[in-house]
């Protein structure tokens, strides 16, 4: 079961990237993790990467980034051909100030590539529930 | 005060002008096209009197047309008592302020002008207030976003780190995380300090004292010397001041500190011979300050926006989006000016002038 996923973390904060990476490693340290503090670089890497053809990669995406917002990232991602898109599932990480916010954010992502929206900070419990949801899907 | 009078009968125009010219600046037009060009040439016309019955357009039609293109002048219709339909029309379609009966008496015209003038003043003050309010609302919107990203962001990061700390055993790993936590907190602290600067500039009053730029620059030198040495950036200073200069010390320091901090921050890391120059010259009651860097430069298309609140042209470095906005607000209070010239990959120069008070 172990090597079924790899992770791509996109967050402009160095500390958040570090914490997310460690949380994943502490949950299961056999999963591959790449971190990007710049969404454009992540997009370029996804575009050029064909190696993990048979493995699902989970994109943990921060919504509030200064250069490219999470929404813009998803828009750009949607432009990829299906053979690329099908290898990824997006999980939104966001600062959520109210329950309304949560619903608004969820509603804004019509894309079926967006698997779930979770409130920052990421913890092992939250990661665990994301993983089990993906496994059962 | 400029008043426009439109009437197809030259005699009426003459009579109107003759009786009111001593107190007001009367502009006349014999038809509506001429009246429109008067409005275009004199945007400061405050009141328009217009006769209802004219060949071509009626007064009502004219008012209906200009209420969109020239909304500011107060519209008054001159009409005979029998034109009840025209008056109703004028109120509904031309949205007039009032009407004056023809033939008019001078007292009626003068009282109409007085009232119209008060109405005009109240209206323009209202639109100025509206513009200010709109600006405040826009800033508030930006603040709402910024509070979530720049304040809750670092806080949630630190909370996440504390959560994680329960599972970390390695000291090295812990140290690395503490280092990142510290960085994150410092960023948050800087953000809050800049927000405080923003607030005091918006609301605070000036406190004028004598300013010795040698002292101000010496203090700043203390702050930046370590950074300049560790990052191999030459810091060149020149201060020429032989006369007394008076201004608000806090605002002057804020301006210099923000410009210097940017000059050091946005250096081109790969470049050799990195430098920041600050030149201050006080002459004839005017301080001219240059802050020059050999940094990454600013794209021409971004230069117009760098003074906007929360605008950031570059994301490589930590920034709050307050800095240059605060500089501009401070200069506005001090009656100063700022100019910027920048060449991409070569560097940026800010030139600031501040008059002594």
Q: How many CB pairs below 8 Å do chains A and B form together?
A: 72
Same domain, B52 and B157: no
pLDDT in tens, B212-238: 999 999 999 988 988 888 889 999 999
**Position B44 in a domain:** yes
Q: Please report the pLDDT score of residue B251 as a whole number.
A: 92
Contacts of B58 by beta carbon, 8 Å cutoff, 6+ apart: B52, B86
- What residues make up the domain containing A69? 2-136
* Measured distance CA(B238)–CA(B248) in Å, rounded: 21
Chain A residue closest in CA terms to B179: A15
Same domain, B64 and B156: no
Same domain, B213 and B348: yes
**Position B132 in a domain:** no
* Measured distance CA(B154)–CA(B157) in Å, rounded: 5
- Radius of gyration over every alpha carbon of chain B, rounded to an integer in angstroms: 31
Same domain, B350 and B242: yes
**Position B49 in a domain:** yes
pLDDT > 90? residue B38: yes
Same domain, B234 and B332: yes
**Position B118 in a domain:** no
- What residues make up the domain containing B156? 143-203
pLDDT in tens, B240-263: 999 999 999 989 999 999 999 999
Contacts of B197 by beta carbon, 8 Å cutoff, 6+ apart: B254, B322, B326
Same domain, B186 and B244: no
A128 touches chain B (CB under 8 A): no
**Position B164 in a domain:** yes
List C-alpha distances in Å: B256 to A70, B104, B236. 36, 64, 14
Smallest CA–CA distance, residue A49 to chain B, in Å, is 25
Same domain, B215 and B328: yes
- The domain total for chain A is 1
Same domain, B335 and B214: yes
Same domain, B198 and B333: no
CATH number, domain containing residue B88: 3.40.50.2300
Tokens coding B235: 């810091």
List C-alpha distances in Å: B149 to A7, A73, B64. 23, 17, 49
Same domain, B27 and B84: yes
**Which of B159, B167, B181 comes nearest A121 by C-beta?**
B159
Give the mean model confidence (pLDDT) for residues B303-326: 80
Question: Which one of B146, B163, B168, B181 makes the best mutation probe of the A interface by having the most chain A beta carbons within 10 Å?
Answer: B163
Q: Please report the pLDDT score of residue A1 as a whole number.
A: 41
* Measured distance CA(A78)–CA(B259) in Å, rounded: 41
Q: Please report the pLDDT score of residue A23 as a whole number.
A: 93
**Which of A22, A64, A67 comes nearest B148 by C-beta?**
A64
Smallest CA–CA distance, residue B234 to chain A, in Å, is 29
CATH number, domain containing residue B308: 3.30.565.10
Q: Please report the pLDDT score of residue B47 as a whole number.
A: 95
In this prediction the ipTM stands at 0.82
**Position B123 in a domain:** no
Question: Which one of A17, A18, A98, A124 makes the best mutation probe of the B interface by having the most chain B beta carbons within 10 Å?
Answer: A18
pLDDT > 90? residue B282: yes
Kindly give the confidence (pLDDT) of every residue in chain A, 137 residues in length, as a single tens digit, with 9 standing for 90 and above: 445 788 999 998 899 999 999 999 988 888 889 999 989 999 999 888 765 556 789 999 998 777 677 888 988 998 888 888 888 989 999 887 666 666 777 777 766 778 788 888 999 999 988 888 888 76
* Measured distance CA(A62)–CA(A95) in Å, rounded: 9
Give the length of chain A: 137
**Position B195 in a domain:** yes
- The domain total for chain B is 3
CATH number, domain containing residue A64: 3.40.50.2300
Give the mean model confidence (pLDDT) for residues B31-47: 94
């Amino acid at each position: 079961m172990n090597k079924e996923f790899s992770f791509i973390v996109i967050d402009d904060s160095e500390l958040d990237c570090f914490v997310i990476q460690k949380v994943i490693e502490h949950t299961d340290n056999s999963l591959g993790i790449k971190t990007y503090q710049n969404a454009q670089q992540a997009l370029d890497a996804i575009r050029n990467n064909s190696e993990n053809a048979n493995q699902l990669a989970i994109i943990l995406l921060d919504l509030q980034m200064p250069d490219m917002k999470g929404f813009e990232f998803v828009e750009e991602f949607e432009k990829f051909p299906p053979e690329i898109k099908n290898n990824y599932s997006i999980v939104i990480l966001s600062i959520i100030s109210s329950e309304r916010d949560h619903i608004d954010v969820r509603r804004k992502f019509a894309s079926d590539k967006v698997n779930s929206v979770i409130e920052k900070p990421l913890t092992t419990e939250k990661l665990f529930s994301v993983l089990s949801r993906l496994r059962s899907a | 005060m400029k008043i426009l009078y439109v009437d197809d009968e030259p005699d009426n125009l003459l009579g109107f002008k003759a009786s009111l010219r001593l107190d007001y600046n009367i502009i006349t037009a014999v038809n509506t096209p001429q009246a429109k060009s008067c409005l275009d040439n004199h945007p400061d016309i405050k009141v328009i009197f217009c006769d209802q019955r004219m060949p071509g357009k009626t007064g009502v039609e004219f008012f209906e047309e200009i209420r969109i293109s020239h909304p500011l002048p107060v519209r008054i219709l001159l009409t005979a008592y029998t034109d009840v339909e025209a008056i109703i029309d004028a109120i509904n379609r031309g949205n007039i302020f009032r009407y004056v009966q023809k033939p008019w008496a001078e007292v009626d015209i003068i009282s109409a002008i007085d009232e119209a003038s008060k109405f005009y003043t109240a209206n323009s003050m209202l639109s100025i207030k509206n513009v200010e309010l709109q600006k405040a609302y826009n800033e508030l919107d930006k603040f709402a976003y910024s509070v979530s990203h720049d304040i809750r962001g670092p806080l949630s990061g630190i909370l996440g780190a504390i959560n994680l700390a329960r599972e970390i055993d390695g000291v090295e790993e812990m140290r690395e995380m503490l280092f990142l936590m510290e960085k994150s907190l410092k960023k948050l602290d800087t953000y809050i300090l800049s927000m405080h600067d923003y607030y005091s500039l918006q609301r605070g009053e000036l406190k004028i004292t004598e300013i010795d730029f040698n002292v101000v620059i010496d203090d700043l030198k203390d702050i930046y010397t370590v950074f300049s040495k560790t990052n191999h950036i030459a810091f060149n200073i020149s201060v020429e001041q032989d006369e007394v200069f008076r201004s608000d010390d806090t605002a002057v320091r804020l301006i210099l500190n923000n410009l210097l901090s940017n000059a050091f921050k946005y250096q081109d890391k790969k470049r050799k011979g990195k430098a920041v120059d600050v030149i201050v010259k006080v002459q004839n009651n005017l301080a001219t300050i240059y802050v020059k860097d050999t940094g990454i430069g600013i794209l021409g298309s971004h230069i117009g926006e760098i003074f906007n609140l929360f605008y950031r042209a570059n994301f490589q470095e930590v920034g709050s989006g307050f800095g240059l906005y605060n500089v501009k607000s401070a200069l506005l209070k001090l009656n100063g000016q700022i100019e910027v010239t920048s060449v991409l990959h070569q560097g940026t120069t800010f030139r600031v002038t501040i008059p002594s008070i």
